[in-house]
């Protein structure tokens, strides 16, 4: 019998936002505009995390 591991909805969203903040800070530091790039990192992490959570909960 094959049992899937139960994942709570929201775990990938949290991870995505954390990595988005880190990536946005690194790119912003390299470009010289951290506050301008950081919201894009947060939004992209939120979107990717939401898609991953939706995929794994519907699977």
pLDDT digits (tens, 9 = 90+) for 2-48: 555 666 777 888 888 898 899 989 999 998 888 888 898 889 989 99
d(CA 36, CA 57): 33
Angle at 15 between CA 7 and CA 24, to 5 degrees: 160
- For 8, residues 6+ apart whose C-beta sits below 8 A from its C-beta are none
Residue 56: in which H helix or E strand, if any? Answer: helix 34-58
pLDDT band at 1 (very low <50, low <70, confident <90, very high): very low
Rg (CA), the chain: 14
Instruction: Specify the pLDDT at position 7.
Output: 63
Tell me if 20 sits within 8 A of 41, measured CB to CB. Answer: yes
């Amino acid at each position: 019998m094959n049992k899937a591991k139960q994942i709570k909805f929201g775990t990938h969203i949290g991870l995505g936002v954390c990595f988005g903040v880190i990536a946005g800070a690194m790119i912003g530091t390299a470009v010289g505009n951290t506050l301008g790039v950081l919201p894009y990192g947060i939004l992209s992490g939120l979107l990717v995390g939401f898609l991953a959570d939706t995929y794994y909960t519907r699977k």
